[in-house]
Structure 1
């Protein structure tokens, strides 16, 4: 019930945040507002997943629910942190305040869930993989030669020159089965973003020190820490 109410409040907060964008007066305010809007959409998505998982089918564990709720709460705090980094706290405060009730509801849900949480699954170093990784996936991760759906290569010998272009192509596939992208040797200077609906993506490189994805976004360059990630997910 708490998660359901939190979801309803979060949806109202998104409506307010969307309309608030017209108040942006400079690039820093727009950058933080854009981040917050993405983060609040992520919160709604994670609350939805939690509700579905804890529904009548009960197809998730208490640990799963706690993880999703923690992520949902972290999103709201990340919005505030971004405003501090770019020194636009006064501008973003109405947006952050509109989510106060959501934060409290999620915090309460986490507190209740912690009482229901059982023993966390673990694995030893010798096992290499946690027990939820299937045998097929273990073989795939350990395979020396993997058959890729798409190949990225800086020299033009693949399907795409950039990792992001391959990810965007993968997002357009109709069947969301496991999709493998092989990234050939090279240094790829880009910030890659994967939609959370673009699931079951596996990136495979040529090996440590051979395939490198890097970028140089920073707070000093006008980006929040959230938006400076070399690789990130968004709603």
Structure 2
């Protein structure tokens, strides 16, 4: 029996030396007469750590400073520090290109890019500040994936082909270095498993000491703290479990009459969860939970009683991200028993009801109602349970890791000659760790679509970006879902790189025998 290393922190390990040992043992067992002298070298360990990297030469150059005494923190810092300067360069370039932008959409797009590139710098700084904490590998990978998602969302918001191409070039080094960094940190976790280290490191939501498993209908992702799980699991009135710091009521019976006023009054520093209770009412306001308001819990009297509504839309010259009725830019957000709505209608084209632009958001017993692009889990990790989401085209879209569980997904009637797609995921890099998972849900037509549900095509999704990743599992699919299941984005685009899967679904729309997408991974 191998003794497991009992240490206080992963950073105490001289990882490169340990990896050399793994490489040596692996190579000797798989070759004849290999020279041990050629194996015990730092270059071998760097090659091993760069194994998952797409841009291997660049990866080995990035890790050239490490040696046999390097710790996990040293390797993480080496992989991440080089990205910081590239993000700053890309942000400076975006500022310069913004001066050439013409029209409101591209102006909005560059404003979004500048915001996202600042966010990218902050995510990198957060990793560097705790790089020695090897128990946070899962967080590091998630935050680096967010950096890549910022790049994808930024470029998607700039419509000018010339400006977009120049911005893409400016972001190329950021993209390659970040993709490599995810691969390097993934390799660290893999070697920890191979070395049999009892470190309770989490990767992709599961501990390395156990095999990866599917999330059950009653479980929560590992990143949700135990206290929050108890809060979410409570079936009685949430007011008994979360005493509000502020009460919002349109009739004047609370401390504030608008949600924005309550947010403005929130203390700049607050320990624990800050709780806002919003009494029943229709709140016509554009709400942004800014990044300086983390760990906010907002709850209402029910998703049909407490509703935040707006109608900003792309057709009227507003950039997609700015159309959102309710935006979350602070981590650790929870919403319960709330409704979020965009009433622009199908003629408004892109019109977001709820945008999640920060890590670790949870929605419980909420409604998200709109048409095209109604729910925008932009980036980060999110969990949605017991909710209702409605829309038409790409109405669950973004570049995040989001699990939608035990929920009702309602497909609405689009404009004439349009078709419906439930999802449009935007993963654009091979090492990026995100995707959309729909589990134990019902996908059904609304009453206005029902009479024409066989005339107006409805699909589970289409690939917004090259590595679009979407899984629909253990769900009831209504007969409105076309037999082929999924739709192309643009001809053969992404058909050989996407990952779409259907697992153990039921209902008349669950048959996977007629998929027409070549290269599609579709498991039943």
> 1:42, 1:234 within 8 Å by CA — same for their partners in 2?
no
After superposition, what is the alpha-carbon deviation per residue over 1:161-205, rounded to whole angstroms, capped at 9, x for unaligned?
Answer: 2222222222x4333431000111112233321222311110111
> 2:110, 2:157 within 8 Å by CA — same for their partners in 1?
no
More strand by share: 2
Determine helix, strand or coil for the equivalent of 1:187: strand
Distance 1:176 1:79, change over 3 A: same
Q: Which residue of 1 aligns with 2:486?
A: none
After superposition, what is the alpha-carbon deviation per residue over 1:78-111, rounded to whole angstroms, capped at 9, x for unaligned?
Answer: 1111123xxx332344334222211111111122
Q: Which residue of 1 aligns with 2:176?
A: 104
Q: Which residue of 2 aligns with 1:190?
A: 285
Determine helix, strand or coil for the equivalent of 1:83: coil
Gaps of 5+ in 2: 1-77, 190-202, 207-212, 331-524
> 1:38, 1:234 within 8 Å by CA — same for their partners in 2?
no
Distance 1:193 1:89, change over 3 A: farther
User: Per-residue deviation at 1:139?
Assistant: 3.9
After superposition, what is the alpha-carbon deviation per residue over 1:125-175, rounded to whole angstroms, capped at 9, x for unaligned?
Answer: 234x345544433443326223111111222222222222222222x4333
Gaps of 5+ in 1: none
Structure-2 separation of matches of 1:174 and 1:64: 23
* 1:25-64 equivalent positions in 2, closer than 5 A: 25-53=102-130, 55-58=131-134, 60=136, 62-64=137-139
Q: Which residue of 1 aligns with 2:399?
A: none
Determine helix, strand or coil for the equivalent of 2:311: coil
Relative contact order, higher structure (CA 8 A, sep 6+): 1
Structure-1 separation of matches of 2:218 and 2:103: 53
* Aligned alpha-carbon RMSD (Å): 2.5
Distance 1:217 1:59, change over 3 A: farther
> 2:248, 2:277 within 8 Å by CA — same for their partners in 1?
yes
Structure-1 separation of matches of 2:173 and 2:142: 20
Structure-2 separation of matches of 1:179 and 1:49: 22
Q: Which residue of 1 aligns with 2:194?
A: none
More helix by share: 1
Structure-2 separation of matches of 1:39 and 1:137: 28
Q: For 2:260, which of 164, 167, 170 is the aligned residue?
A: 164
- Which range moved further: 90-99 or 144-153? 90-99
Q: For 2:231, which of 137, 140, 146 is the aligned residue?
A: 140
Q: TM-score, normalised by structure 1?
A: 0.83
Q: TM-score, normalised by structure 2?
A: 0.40
1:77 aligned to 2:168?
Answer: no
User: Per-residue deviation at 1:59?
Assistant: 5.0
1:214 aligned to 2:309?
Answer: yes
1:15 aligned to 2:92?
Answer: yes
